[in-house]
Each structure stands twice: as C-alpha cells, then as structure tokens.
Amino acid sequence: MLAILRDLLRYNLEFRIGIVLVGFVLVLSMLSGFSPYPPQDVYVVPPDVPPSLSYWLGTTSRGQDVFWQLTFAIRNTLLFGCTVALISRALALVIGLLSGYKGGWIDRVLMSINDTFIVIPLLPVLVLFYFVMRDSMSWLMLALIMACLGWAYDARLIRSVAMSLKTREFTQSSVFSGMSTREILVQEHLPYVMPIVFSTTMNNMIWSIGLEVTLAVLGFTDINTPTIGGMIYWANQHTAMVAGVWWWIAFPTIAVVITFIGLFLLAVSMNEYIDPRSRLSRIGPVTS
C-alpha cells in the first residue's frame, strides 16, 4: 500500500495537488488545539470586524474570531466525515464481500436490501430523524445514522470485486485447503479490495460532509458544536450577507470547497491507478 502511495505521489499530478489541499485542511484543523478561545464561547472579541492583521479572517456577529472558529469547524467536520467513512466501510466490506463470495440467495436478498438503500432519498429520512430527536441528536448520533444508511453504493462495488476474485485459482486452493469463509475473505481477498476501499472512502467523505453541511445549514443538527455548516447557519441567522459581513460565510465556504476538491482529486487519482489497463503498462523492465 505504501509503495502505491509513493508511486502516486511521484508521478500523478492530481494526487499531488489533492495531497496538498487535504494536507492544508488537516493542518488548519490541527491548529484548533492552539485556539485562545474555547469554541462554544461567544462575544469574546468585538463583533463584525473585517479581516485585518489582528483578526486574520475577521470576526462574526456573535463576537467570535472567524479564523479560530474555522479551525474548530474544520476539525469537527473532518472528524465527522472520517467517523462515517470508517463505520460505513466496515458495513460495506462485510456485506459486499459476503454477498459477492457466497452468491446464491444470500446475494439476492442482500442486494435487494442494498438497492433499497441506494434508491431511498436520504435527506428526508435524516430530516425526519432530526425532527423526532431534536436536541438529543449529537453529531456522533448523526454520524452513526448516516453510516448505517450510506454503505449501499460501495457495498456493490466491493461485491463485484469479490465476485471476480471468487473464480480465481487461489480462492479455490484456499477452499480446498480447508480455510473457513471468514479466513478466506480476510486473509486472501481483503488485500485486493483495499485500493477500491481507499477511493470509495474519499467519495464517502465527500458525500457525508456534504450531507452534514446541508443539514447544518438548515439548522437540523447540533448547532452548538461548531462545524462548517453550523457556521453558515449562524451567519444566515444573523443575515450576514445582507449586513455585509461576507467573511463569515466566505471563509468556511472556501474551506469546505478546498476539502472537497482535495478529496475528489485523491479519489480520482487512486481510481486511475487501480485501472487494470494502466497497471499492465507498469509491469515489466524499465527501458528509456
């Protein structure tokens, strides 16, 4: 896996740009540890100050420093995306590998359920969750719910890889040598599936962060924990655009767009690397 990353870094421009953008966002989120203001506090600095030397990205109408708020917002948003991605990877892997390997009626049943979750529009369902749970919907809860609803698309991808692996010779030998299904899936098939898992993780993060931003902007999440969407929500509550406090909206927006473009480029370059045609050209002795 490391060798793959090293190759990508050396030869693929999109990967490099993606790493730079994501790295930038990560650094920003880590800066949150140095913030002089606790994230939930309001009116700690003079409100509505435009970007200047003392307040790099200006301050909000609630008296918070936009820059430091942004570091917390980015950190929470990224954490959220990672959590959802992790949990839904686990689900997608289990279902995809099992379904692809076992086949038969297990496959049919699982895929019918899978296709159901692909079709159902998730935003109304999440809105319904929020409506019913209101203030007890912490972001962890939301992450859990989204992970349980968002594994479907990637499970199908993993399933098709599993189906092609099933017919390969090394699988047959593993079966004959008495390995259990679980052993085969974990020890033999998992390494082949990892590159796809990586690129789908990027896409999944884009999806979950996008959905969270949408919900937060509407005010349908725990708005006291600062997230990108939350910042935009509060900005709207204080009619920032009309009041001319553009920096309150602009900077979180730019931050999330950078994150998305970075993640997207990573996913695209990983996909290109996995593509079997480019892989064939990479085999063999090096000539000039």
Partner 1 sequence: MTSAANSMGATQSDSAGPILSVGNLRAYFRTNHFGIHRTVRAVDGISFDVGRGEIYGLAGESSSGKTTLVRTIAGAIKPPLEVVGGTAEFSFLPGYDGLYRAPAAEVARIRWRHLSYIMQGSMNVLNPVRRLRKSFVDFARPHMAGTERKFERAVIDHLARVNLDASVLAAYPHELSGGMRQRVTIALATICRPDFIIADEPTTALDVIVQKDVLGMIRGIQREIGSSVLFVTHDMGVHAHLTDRLGIMYAGRLIEEATTAEIFRAPLHPYTRHLIASLPRIGNDAPRKGLEGTPPNLADPPPGCRFHPRCPLAMEVCSRSVPTMIGTAPGHRVACFAVNGSEEP
Partner 2 sequence: MSGYLAYIAKRLLQFVLVVFIGINLAYVITHATPIDPVEQSISAVTSYGNTAPGAIEQMRISLRELYGLEGSALQQYVVFWKRILRADFGPSMSAFPTPVSTLIARALPWTTGLLVVSTIVTWVLGNWLGGLAGYYQKNRGLKLLGVIAMGLHPIPYYILALLLLIVFGFLWPVLPISGGSTMNLPQAWTWAFAASVVQHAILPALSLILIGVGSWFLGMRSLVSNVVTEDYVIYAELAGVKSRRILSSYVMRNALVPQVTGLAISLGGIFNGAVITEKVFGYPGIGSLLVDAVYAGDYGLVLGVTTISILGVSIGVLVIDFLYPLLDPRVKVS
Q: Which is nearer to partner 2, 103 or 219 (CB)?
A: 219
Q: Helix (H, G, I), strand (E, B), or coil: what is residue 59?
A: strand
Residues in 34-93 at the binding interface with partner 2, rule: CB under 8 A? none
At CA 204, angle to CA 201 and CA 209, rounded to 5?
Answer: 125
242: contact with partner 1 by CB under 8 A: no
Q: DSSP H helical segments within 53-151, as ranges?
A: 66-102, 104-119, 122-133, 139-149
229 contact partners, CB below 8 Å, separation of at least 6: 77, 212, 213, 214, 215, 216, 217, 221
Of all residues in the chain, what percent are helix, strand and coil, respectively (each to 5)?
75, 0, 25
Q: Which is nearer to partner 2, 73 or 185 (CB)?
A: 73
- Taking CB within 5 to 8 Å according to partner kind, which of partner 2, partner 1, none is near residue 91? none
Q: Which is nearer to partner 2, 184 or 211 (CB)?
A: 211
- Candidates 217, 223, 238, 274; binder of partner 2 (CB under 8 A) is 217
Stretch of 6-14, 124-132, 198-206, 235-243 lying at the interface with partner 1 (CB under 8 A): 6-14
Residues in 93-132 at the binding interface with partner 2, rule: CB under 8 A? 112-113, 115-116, 118-125, 127-132
At 167, list the tokens: 């017919």
Q: Helix (H, G, I), strand (E, B), or coil: what is residue 65?
A: strand
190: contact with partner 2 by CB under 8 A: no
284: contact with partner 1 by CB under 8 A: yes
Q: Which is nearer to partner 1, 224 or 288 (CB)?
A: 288
At 11, list the tokens: 């030869």
55 φ/ψ angles, rounded to the nearest 5 degrees: -125, 100
* Residues pairing with 10 in the sheet: none
DSSP 222: -
10: contact with partner 1 by CB under 8 A: yes
DSSP 47: T
282: contact with partner 1 by CB under 8 A: yes
Stretch of 26-34, 49-57, 186-194, 251-259 lying at the interface with partner 2 (CB under 8 A): 251-259
Question: With CB under 8 A, what is the number of residues at the site for partner 1?
Answer: 14
Q: How far is the CB of 270 from partner 1 (least distance, A)?
A: 13
Residues that bind partner 1 in the complex, under the rule CB under 8 A: 7-8, 10-12, 273, 278, 281-282, 284-288
